[in-house]
Structure 1
Amino acid sequence: MKVKPLKDNILVKMIENEETSPNGIILTGAARGESNLAEVIETPEIFGEDQEILLRGETVMVTPHCGTEVKVDGETYRMVSYHDILAVFEK
């Protein structure tokens, strides 16, 4: 099933935090915390004139606890507002 976001919504897949600390300690559950990095999966076809278009596959930083969790074909995604995106990471 294909999901096409409407208005200023963007479908992203959250990138999980590392499971080990820089010192090699294995982190579990709450110790890992929630990631604020995501990969852009799908964007609407038309944005407002003042908004940049984000391309599929880009890594973005989103505000903590933003958006709505969506399950599609067994995969978990998050629908976030364009305004919840804080930064785009350059490759």
Structure 2
Amino acid sequence: MSKQFTISYPGDKAQLITRLKNMIGSNGTLAGNENSGNFRGSTPVGGFEGSYAIQGDDIIVTIDKKPMLVSTDRIKEEFQKALQRGI
């Protein structure tokens, strides 16, 4: 079952997506633009994948697949850290 969360980000979305793609490198993929896209990656305990949609200053993230041992809250924390590094 998919899980969803929203993160607020008032900055430039196109620049953010470019920076995040560069940060991800070979650790996963991020395909999309400043409106929507999808991502996938891996952790030592398994892979994850999902999508995002940007509406104004809100980034709505949907997690479609994740390791059972990794909580959705933990994934949200990592997204927030990536956004802070991406600024």
Could you state the TM-score of these two structures normalised by the residue count of structure 1? 0.29
Larger strand percent: 2
What TM-score, normalized by structure 2, do the two folds share? 0.30
